[in-house]
Structure 1
Amino acid sequence: MCALKPGSLSLNHVSEMARIGGTIARLRRSKRMKQEVAALQAGLSRDTAYRIEKGESNVAIGQILRYLDAISPGLSLKDVLVNCSPDASEDSQRVKRRRVYRDAPAVDPSSQGK
């Protein structure tokens, strides 16, 4: 069993930070925005954006708020915390795309295996 150092986060808080970071990352991807672009718009380094999305605890709340505002202006941290953002849930409901080959001959599925 590992003891917590004074000032460190509990395991519950660490998992909560990871959940928040993951939600912000899904939101950014649903907007089809590159991490580097979002970081630049927020006035942050790409490394800081990476740490936010990974849920690291050594990121200032102001940096998280600026990054969130760069990704989705007007969205509050409360929306992220309660996972109410329709854009974030859109990513998890996205249908897997299939590659279509234009030059390949059409194959009848019922004739396969004969």
Structure 2
Amino acid sequence: MKRDETPLLTAQRLTEARDIGAKLARLRVARRLRQEDVARRAGMSRSTAVLIEQGDIRRTQAQLLRYLDAIAPGLAYVDFLLEKDPALIALASREATQRVRPMSESELKKLDF
């Protein structure tokens, strides 16, 4: 029988659990995989995958690692936490704000040192 250990964790630890789930979801999106497909590869239900991505602390470490391996086979957990995956780097560059118009002459002169 599973125990609810939420009351035993500090607010910081609960936030960290949600952050890990969000990072897994972001990695999945960066690799352009559907949640259902990743869950099937990991041998779990989609509802469990949803809970993992929400940072549910009742999910086991084995479930988290299986889910990570289903998204990015061979990616080390430390590299995942440090967001060293090439797909995440590409996603970050796509999300970066880019200039949509060229600078005017007066704007260029302001930047001229």
Could you say whether these structures have the same fold, taking a TM-score greater than 0.5 normalized by the shorter chain as the test? Answer: yes
Where does 1:59-98 land on structure 2 (aligned, <5 Å)?
59-95=59-95
Q: C-alpha distance in 2, partners of 1:11/1:89?
A: 29
Match of 2:55 in 1: 55
Match of 1:39 in 2: 39
Q: Bigger CA drift: 26-35 or 80-89?
A: 80-89
Indicate the SS of the match to 1:94: helix
Q: C-alpha distance in 1, partners of 2:29/2:9?
A: 28
Gaps of 5+ in 1: 97-114
Q: Deviations over 1:43-64 (max 9, x none)?
A: 0110111111111101000000
Runs of 4+ in 1 over 4 A off after TM superposition: none
TM-score of the aligned structures, taking structure 2 as reference length: 0.72
Match of 1:20 in 2: 20
Aligned-pair RMSD on alpha carbons? Answer: 1.8
Gaps of 5+ in 2: 1-5, 97-113
Report the Cα offset of residue 42 of structure 1.
Answer: 0.3
TM-score of the aligned structures, taking structure 1 as reference length: 0.72
Q: Bigger CA drift: 80-89 or 55-64?
A: 80-89
Report the Cα offset of residue 16 of structure 1.
Answer: 0.7
Report the Cα offset of residue 68 of structure 1.
Answer: 0.4
Match of 1:110 in 2: none
Identity within the alignment, % = 40
Q: C-alpha distance in 2, partners of 1:12/1:33?
A: 30
Q: C-alpha distance in 2, partners of 1:92/1:55?
A: 22
Gap change, CA 1:89 and 1:18, over 3 Å in 2: farther
Report the Cα offset of residue 71 of structure 1.
Answer: 0.4
Q: C-alpha distance in 1, partners of 2:11/2:93?
A: 29
